[in-house]
Structure 1
Amino acid sequence: MMKIDGRSLLMAALMLAGVAHAATGNEMQAALHTCQTEFIDDAKRRLLCFDQVAQKYASAQAATPALLATKQQELVKTVDAKTNYLARKWHLNPQDELHFTDLETYQLNYVVGSISSNPNDIPTSPSRPNTQDRDLSNSDLHFQISLKTQLMNLSDWLPENKWVHSARLWGAYTQQSFWQVTEKDQSRPMRDHNYSPELILSLGLNKPGETKQWAVMPDMLNLGIVHESNGRSQPLSRSWNRIYLQGGWQLNDRYSLLFKPWWRIPESKSEDDNPNISKYMGYGDVSLRWDNEANDTAASVTLRNNLRSDNKGYVKVDVQYKPLKSESVKFYAMLASGYGVSLLDYNQAQTMFGIGFAIGE
């Protein structure tokens, strides 16, 4: 019988440990290479991928080539899930660290030269009659500024449950402006401003299963209250307040769907600048967004309808494209048609086309 002493056993164990360590090191190198190649043009996703590797392989054991390939596929899926549109827009990952001073884009920020088919020269409403003709040009320099910041991260306060995994309270502000920059004879007036502050509670949801019965459950819910006004004096004053519930579905890595019904908070008859606004602006909107695989092109379509027999609606289609390697500046084109292109135009239909640049998403 062959005799094996303790020293030989120790040497064999060290050799096996060295082989396992080398295999694990190769596995980590392969994972890091996956991060570099899969997300070569997206610094944020690449950094998240590196973080995932550090967490996943810190105490990993050696893997066979087949298992290694499976782990690499799982790594890419995990990064994609944490960086899809809804997840990155609303920070549905509860571990995302944000501060009050971390301003982010809310809606798209853009500057476009726009042309309208039917400028609203004599804006009026049932409670604010008007006869003054503003004799506007059909072109504007149209821009939007929209920012949000986290007021509180409520995720750590959530009770143990299987439904909600993140909760954040946001403050947001959006401003649209329409500048008659070509109207030199009229001192280039502002046709309209729309000011819109919001308070939003955003919840990231868990789907208990992958069966079809859970497919209709949203990945995110936003509960918000919003005030919108144009800051004008009568008879051009327009304003309304709404409470909304917005559901978000990440249909796959490329498509996301947002559905937002709202309820208008009633106003007294004497203070209501636009008593029939729901007839034209409807009771909610729905948006479908597409992002390409490289995340340098996105397109979306937004629809509103009053759900009445007179069928007054609105549709907006926009396209964003990053012509450079910049993470933020994009080429932007938009086409909007229907009622409510601006708040002052809530009851006048028109078609507006604009082209320019955007920041954010």
Structure 2
Amino acid sequence: MRYVFILLFLYTASLSADINSIKGTELDKYEVNEIEDIKAKKAMQKWLNRDFGLKPHKINYLLPFGYKEGAYKSYVPTDEYRNVEAELQVSLKLYLGTGLFGLNESYYLAYSHRAFWQIYSESSPFRETNYNPEGFIEFPVSDKDTLFNMKSIKLGLAHTSNGQGDNANVVYATPADNPGNRSRSLNYMYSEFAFQYDTLLTEFRLISPFPGTADDKDNPDIMDYLGYTSVKLNYFTGRHMFTFMGRGNFTTGYGAVEATYSYPLIDNAYFFMKVFSGYGESLIDYDNHVTKFSVGFSFSR
């Protein structure tokens, strides 16, 4: 059944990739132009177009095969996770408006959902799921006179968690059965600066936990592993796209690197592969070193 789900997901994505031609065909089935109620006509047209303002935020992908070096840590004795799994991410943003301060700035809400799926295990559990709602403001910058060629500044507030509970005080048959606190979360602020040099786009990000939350009991040392700074390079050559991300904490020496490659197969559907090495691949493993190769498809870049 799980393989049928993946095939249906890929088939649906391939159909949505050619949505422009589908729209015209679908609208031809309905008599919209003859409707006299202008407000109802507009609402109906928007519904038929599936136009609700949602756009891709981070990369949207389905990676049926991900291979990790070594076994995943199990937090429950009955869980025996394989080092091969699937991974998927859905990430969307909603544009809210522009120019509240007269600086041509734009306002957005966004949500990203990332899941690690032990699809090759017998019961196919989701090993870990991370949730990441956020809101941000993006200020355009027209810098053509300096070497940096800055294009935008983004300021955001975000939360990320894995939705797990704290079972430390729950009574189990034996102490070994108690998984302890599997809850992971972080509230943080960030600022991001975007630069361009020809087909190379660079994003430099600074991250800071909300005051009073850095020592959260769920993961008091999480910033030691995630770090406060990150740099991401996005490079285009022909139809190919390469990215490289590095982040870390200069004090502790912990961090991570990630490289991706994508190539269009059809409109809005891409061959996608990713290599990750370091800490913080997922929230549950924020303090475990993971080296992993994943391959599959993305539906945005």
**Fold conserved (TM > 0.5)?**
yes
Distance 2:94 2:105 in 1: 14
Deviations 1:282-312 (A, max 9, x none): 002110011124xx2101000011112x411
Answer yes or no: is the 8 Å Cα contact 1:197–1:228 preserved in 2: yes
1:316 to 235, 258, 269: 258
1:188 is matched with: 124
What is the root-mean-square deviation of aligned Cα atoms in Å?
A: 2.2
Q: Which residue of the partner structure matches residue 67 of structure 2?
A: 115
Say whether the 8 Å CA contact 1:104–1:149 is kept in structure 2: yes
Structure 2 counterpart SS, 1:322:
strand
* Paired residue type of 2:228: Y
1:227 maps to which of 144, 159, 184: 159
Q: Which residue, out of 147, 152, 155, partners 1:215?
A: 147
CA contact (8 A) 1:119 1:350 kept: no
Shift of 1:270: 8.7
TM-score by length of 2: 0.74
Structure 1 length-normalised TM? 0.62
User: Aligned in 2, Cα 1:347/1:270: closer, same or farther, shift over 3 Å?
Assistant: closer
Kept after mapping to 2: 8 A contact 1:168/1:202: yes
Tell me the CA shift for residue 228 of structure 1.
0.2
Deviations 1:323-344 (A, max 9, x none): 3xx3200000000000011111
Secondary structure of the residue aligned to 2:187 is: strand
Using the TM superposition, give the Cα deviation of residue 133 of structure 1 relative to its aligned residue in structure 2, in angstroms: 6.4
5+ unaligned residues in a row in structure 1: which ranges? Answer: 1-43, 45-98, 124-130
Deviations 1:117-155 (A, max 9, x none): 1343245xxxxxxx746321001110010011101122x
Gaps of 5+ in 2: 1-19, 21-49, 167-180
- In the alignment, the residues of structure 1 paired with residue 113 and residue 281 of structure 2 have an alpha-carbon distance, to the nearest angstrom, of 13
**Equivalent residues of 1:335, 1:354 under 8 A apart:** yes
Picking from 76, 86, 104, the partner of 1:141 is 86
Give, as a single letter, the amino acid of the residue that structure 1 aligns with 2:261: V
Count, aligned residues: 238
2:183 alignment partner in structure 1: 237
Which runs of structure 2 are paired with 1:248-263 in the superposition (5 Å)? 248-252=194-198, 254-263=199-208
1:202 to 138, 142, 146: 138
Runs of 4+ in 1 over 3 A off after TM superposition: 266-271
Percent of counterpart pairs with the same letter?
26
Task: Report the CA distance shift for 1:282/1:269 in structure 2 as closer, same or farther (over 3 A).
Answer: closer
Aligned to 1:49: none
Summarize the Cα distance change of 1:271–1:233 in structure 2 as closer, same or farther, 3 Å threshold. Answer: same
CA pair 149-100 structure 1, distance change in 2 beyond 3 A:
farther
Deviation at 1:272, TM superposition (A): 2.6
The corresponding residue for 2:234 is 289
C-alpha separation between the residues in 1 aligned to 2:151 and 2:138? 11
Cα distance between partner residues in 1 of 2:261 and 2:215: 41
Q: Which residues of 2 match residues 1-361 of structure 1 at below 5 A?
A: 101-112=52-63, 113-123=65-75, 132=77, 134-154=79-99, 157-159=100-102, 164=103, 166-184=104-122, 187-207=123-143, 210=145, 214-216=146-148, 218-234=150-166, 235-252=181-198, 254-267=199-212, 272-293=217-238, 296-308=239-251, 310-323=252-265, 326-361=266-301
